[in-house]
């Protein structure tokens, strides 16, 4: 049990650090700079913030606050094609993303251990998906964006 508690503390700290790393790495990059093929720094930041807000943060919070919520599948390419705004302020995107994750980390850091095991369901992934799993998936998404940007700069 001690190892699990330590892992969860590590998970929250890593989530916060990875977000800070992403913010600091992206902030000085020209928003229109191509990072990954045709994707710009602006598009990657927009994507990271949107995916966090509409998928991982949302699922973590609903799993925490609702009884076994059901999540529909989210199609990132379709969402991006319908919602991407190239005129949105780059610094605003990065700051909002950082604040979203920091707020979630504050919530997670204060949780009783039992809440980490609260469950949800997903249209394609099935049942018994824990809060911890959504946090892990959210961290993985941020780390993927970090790798993407590091590779491109």
CA distance 134 to 140: 10
CA distance 89 to 73: 28
Q: What is the pLDDT of residue 21?
A: 98
Q: What is the pLDDT of residue 38?
A: 87
Q: What is the pLDDT of residue 65?
A: 97
Q: What is the pLDDT of residue 153?
A: 84
Sheet containing 119-122: order of strands: 70-71, 119-122, 126-130
23-55 confidence digits (pLDDT tens): 999 999 999 999 978 899 999 999 999 999 999
Domain ranges, ordered by start, for the chain = 2-152
65-76 confidence digits (pLDDT tens): 999 999 999 999
- CATH architecture of structural domain 2-152: Up-down Bundle (1.20)
Token code pair at residue 143: 């780390």
């Amino acid at each position: 049990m001690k190892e699990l508690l330590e892992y969860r503390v590590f998970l929250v700290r890593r989530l916060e650090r990875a977000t800070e790393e992403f913010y600091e790495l992206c902030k000085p990059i020209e928003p229109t700079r191509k990072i990954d093929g045709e994707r710009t720094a602006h598009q990657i930041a927009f994507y990271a913030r949107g995916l966090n807000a509409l998928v991982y943060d949302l699922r973590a919070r609903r799993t925490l606050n609702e009884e076994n919520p059901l999540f529909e599948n989210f199609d990132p390419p379709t969402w991006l094609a319908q919602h991407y705004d190239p005129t949105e302020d780059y610094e605003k995107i990065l700051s909002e993303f950082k604040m979203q994750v920091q707020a979630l980390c504050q919530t997670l850091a204060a949780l009783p251990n039992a809440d980490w095991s609260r469950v949800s369901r997903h249209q394609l992934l099935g049942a018994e998906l824990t809060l911890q799993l959504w946090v892990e998936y959210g961290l993985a998404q941020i780390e993927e964006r970090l790798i993407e940007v590091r590779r491109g700069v």
